Amino acid sequence: MKAFIHQKDNWPEFTWNSNDFLDLLSEARNLQGRLIGKMETLGFDLRNEALLDTLTLDVLKSSEIEGEFFNPDQVRSSIARRLGMEIAGAVDSDRSVEGIVEMILDATQKCFEPLTADRLFDWHAALLPTGRSGMYKITVADWRKDTTGPMQVVSGAMGKEKVHFQAPNSDLVENEMTRFINWFNNYKTDLVIKAAIADLWFVTIHPFEDGNGRITRALTDMLLAQADKSNQRFYSMSAQIRLERKQYYEILENTQKGNLDITAWIVWFLNCLINALKSTDSILKKVLFKADFWQKHIDTPINDRQRKLLNFLLDGFDGKLTSSKWAKIAKCSKDSAVRDINDLIEKAILQKEPAGGRSTNYELIGMPAGNNISETWSNHTSKREYFKSRK
């Protein structure tokens, strides 16, 4: 029995009923236009702040979907360096962080350049600089070889595994990818719909031994950037997919086990995109709050240590701020940290958090709630607990 769509006789001749999603497409396009218009009213520095926050969120969440959790400060610093931005508290980044940042920026900043096999190989090599996936050596910068058996998505205990999906055999991948790349570069349709199709098609081929999900989302971002007619990203599909990951896996599995009518998949994709576009308000609020904060305090006496820590808080400080953390980050004594904090409390800039505890925590007065790109980066449930063998 032909269980998966790539085994159908007319693969990959996808079909869909446009009437089922025209309203959703119109809403997504309207939200895209409004967001781009809103960003154009901001100054250069504010747009860069929003761009940096969005790209940082995109890299973090795309990795989290795969069960990888990066230090947000490393991701933010890597992106800022590559974009020529100066930020407070820049740190060095691991090779794995640098690799995914390099791929995302190549996909979005050079979104109008053609896709090629070599470009995909470069992305793959950047993602997996050690040539290993965990403990296992893998083929990097080339199509998968399936030397250890077919590429499968499996869950369940050993001996009771459930196969959710099996990719095309490795000897078919080169031809499959030649057809996909030609379509990606030349097929003419609405670019948002094209992004939905590309997302499904690429992850179904699963051309690499590892990194397929992250590369899929990079390709989606590339086409959405083309749809926006801008290489600046102000919303993150990866962040929204991370929130909707259970529904994502369900619709992906159902579509891959269905026929080539992918209307339901496109409907899900458009709803996810609409939610991603709507969620940008939290990023914009934070960016605008930071700009207003420094404008408000342009004449307020603030020393270098205080300025550094305030920027940490404004950019989304990871965890609770205590006097001990202040001293460590500012590289000063505990007494100096306490004096810095008390001075800012007197100036109505900081306040003690209401919740008590063994240590006193401090927060910025008026800091808007919302997406903190740094939050809980090390304490999520791994996606590999959901799909044990997904690559």
For the stretch 339-371, pLDDT in tens is 999 999 999 999 998 865 567 899 999 887 654
E-assigned strand segments in the chain: 132-133, 136-137, 152-155, 162-166, 350-352, 362-364
The reply to whether 255 sits in an annotated binding site is no
pLDDT higher than 90, residue 273? yes
**Which of the two residues, 39 and 262, has the higher pLDDT score?**
262
> Do the Cβ atoms of 123 and 103 come closer than 8 Å?
yes
For the stretch 147-183, pLDDT in tens is 888 999 888 777 778 888 999 999 999 999 999 999 9
Structure confidence at residue 281 (pLDDT) = 76
* 30, 171, 188 from 238: Cα distances, Å: 20, 30, 25
Q: Where are the alpha helices (DSSP H) in 90-136?
A: 95-109, 117-127
Structure confidence at residue 275 (pLDDT) = 96
Question: What domains lie within the chain, and their CATH numbers?
Answer: 5-279+375-385 (1.10.3290.10), 288-364 (1.10.10.10)
The reply to whether 356 sits in an annotated binding site is no
Going by pLDDT thresholds of 50, 70 and 90, the confidence category of residue 211 is very high
Across residues 328-346, what is the average pLDDT?
95
Identity of the amino acid at 11: W
Indicate the length of the chain as a whole number. Answer: 391
Q: Is 153 left (phi over 0), alpha (psi -120 to 50) or beta?
A: beta
The reply to whether 136 sits in an annotated binding site is no
Q: Residue 310 has which token pair?
A: 């305030």
The reply to whether 211 sits in an annotated binding site is yes
Structure confidence at residue 376 (pLDDT) = 35
Known catalytic residues are 206
pLDDT higher than 70, residue 391? no
**Which of the two residues, 384 and 364, has the higher pLDDT score?**
364
183 membership: H or E segment, kind and range: helix 170-186
Structure confidence at residue 98 (pLDDT) = 97
The reply to whether 216 sits in an annotated binding site is yes
